[in-house]
């Protein structure tokens, strides 16, 4: 009975339809809830905690997790509160993940849609640029940038941004080619709609499902990228921490104080897992809408 009711679309936009689909998937809702909880905690805990992430406390070095004085995650090699540091790490990682993904979505969608819609020489030029950028070795690029411009958090954004939109541009271009062949594109052209408006109004909205899915899957890969950079010491500048640098610090203490590794790694894993689950569910949701 339920299936029959779902088959008859009760109307509304693609967004609402996708949201209905998403709501029916409990694991996706759970992932969304966990992400929201982590984000909220990352936002609030550093504001209300009596400890700060930077000041060393030499009397409190390597306190294991305990309920006393609210040090539930313990302290690190410099006596800094791990809870606050992990929450700062989540802030940085989520910020990098979401911001860099947004940038890559904007560039990737405009780039790919323009190439796919206009076709011909423009297409060739834009996509060959993508091919060239694909050849740039990522880690050496970051090292060169940091040597040239010094350690700067913005560089992490730039470095991640330059590579992460490439995949999206290719995917969007492919999808645009198939959208372009649709009758409603010809119909809109027959109304005298100009190319810029065509892309903005007819092509991009039809990409939204795909882009949403891909963006959700880009966030964790960007977070992992950042973690990798920080693990190699190319990321955030100490004493600021990201999940990647916390894992790197913890890895050094793995033998004596495993909690320093396990806790940030668990948060990193949870965030990645939740984003991936959400992306999968979104793909299902938009696919079933299409069908």
Partner 1 sequence: MAEARGPLLEVRGLTVRYPGPRGGAGGGLRAVDALDLDLAEHECLGIVGESGSGKSQLLLALLGLQDPAAQVTGSVRYRGEELLDAAPARLAALRGRRLAMVFQEPMRALNPYLRILTQLTEGVRAHLGLGRRAAAARARELLATVQIDAPAQRLRQYPHELSGGMRQRVMLAMALMCEPEILLLDEPTTALDVTVQAQILELLRDVRRRTGVATLFVTHDLGALAAIADRVAVMYAGRMIEQAPAAELYRMPYHPYTVGLLGSLPRLDQPLDAPLPAIRGQPPDLTALPAGCAFAPRCARHFAACSTRPEWRSVTPSRQVACHLDGPAAAVGVGP
Residues making contact with partner 1 (CB under 8 A): 9, 11-14, 119-120, 182-184, 186-194, 197, 201-202, 205-206, 208
Q: What's the min distance (Å) between Cβ of 141 and partner 1?
A: 37
Q: What's the min distance (Å) between Cβ of 185 and partner 1?
A: 8
26 or 194, CB closer to partner 1? 194
Residues ≥6 apart with Cβ < 8 Å to 30: 277
210 or 243, CB closer to partner 1? 210
209 or 250, CB closer to partner 1? 209
Rounded distance between C-alpha atoms, residue 24 and residue 12, angstroms: 17
Rounded distance between C-alpha atoms, residue 288 and residue 25, angstroms: 13
Q: What's the min distance (Å) between Cβ of 13 and partner 1?
A: 6
13 or 59, CB closer to partner 1? 13
222 or 285, CB closer to partner 1? 285
Rounded distance between C-alpha atoms, residue 30 and residue 34, angstroms: 6
**DSSP output for 160-192:** HHHHHHHHHHHHHHHHHHHHHTSHHHHHHHHTT
Q: What's the min distance (Å) between Cβ of 104 and partner 1?
A: 22
Q: What's the min distance (Å) between Cβ of 11 and partner 1?
A: 5
**DSSP output for 148-161:** HH-S-HHHHHHHHH
Q: Is the peptide bond before 239 cis (omega within 30 degrees of 0)?
A: yes
Question: How many other β-carbons are positioned within 10 Å of the β-carbon of residue 206?
Answer: 19
Task: Yes or no: say if 96 and 222 are a contact pair by the CB < 8 Å rule.
Answer: yes
Q: What's the min distance (Å) between Cβ of 179 and partner 1?
A: 9
Question: How many other β-carbons are positioned within 10 Å of the β-carbon of residue 291?
Answer: 5
12 or 33, CB closer to partner 1? 12
127 or 262, CB closer to partner 1? 127
Q: What's the min distance (Å) between Cβ of 20 and partner 1?
A: 14
């Amino acid at each position: 009975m339920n299936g029959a009711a779902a088959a008859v679309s009760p109307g509304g936009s693609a967004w609402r339809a996708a949201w209905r689909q998403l709501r029916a998937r409990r694991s996706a809702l759970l992932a969304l809830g966990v992400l929201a909880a982590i984000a909220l905690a990352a936002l609030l805990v550093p504001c209300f905690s009596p400890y700060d992430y930077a000041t060393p406390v030499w009397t409190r070095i390597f306190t294991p997790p305990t309920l006393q004085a609210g040090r539930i995650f313990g302290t690190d090699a410099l006596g800094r509160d791990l809870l606050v540091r992990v929450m700062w790490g989540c802030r940085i990682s989520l910020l990098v993940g979401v911001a860099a993904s947004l940038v890559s979505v904007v560039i990737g969608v405009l780039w790919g849609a323009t190439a796919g819609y206009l076709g011909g020489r423009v297409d060739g030029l834009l996509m060959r640029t993508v091919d060239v950028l694909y050849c740039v070795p990522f880690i050496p690029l970051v090292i060169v940038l940091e040597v040239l411009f010094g350690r700067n958090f913005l560089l992490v954004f730039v470095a991640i941004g330059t590579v992460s939109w490439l995949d999206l541009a290719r995917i969007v271009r492919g999808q645009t080619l198939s959208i372009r062949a649709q009758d409603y594109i010809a119909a809109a052209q027959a109304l005298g709609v100009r190319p810029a408006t065509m892309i903005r109004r007819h092509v991009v909205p039809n990409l939204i499902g795909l882009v949403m899915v891909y963006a959700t899957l880009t966030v964790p890969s960007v977070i992992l990228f950042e973690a990798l950079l920080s693990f190699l010491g190319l990321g955030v500048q100490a004493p600021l921490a990201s999940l990647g640098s916390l894992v790197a610090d913890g890895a050094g203490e793995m033998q004596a104080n495993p909690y320093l590794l396990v806790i940030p790694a668990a948060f990193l894993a949870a965030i990645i897992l939740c984003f991936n689950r959400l992306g999968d569910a979104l793909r299902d949701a938009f696919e079933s809408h299409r069908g």
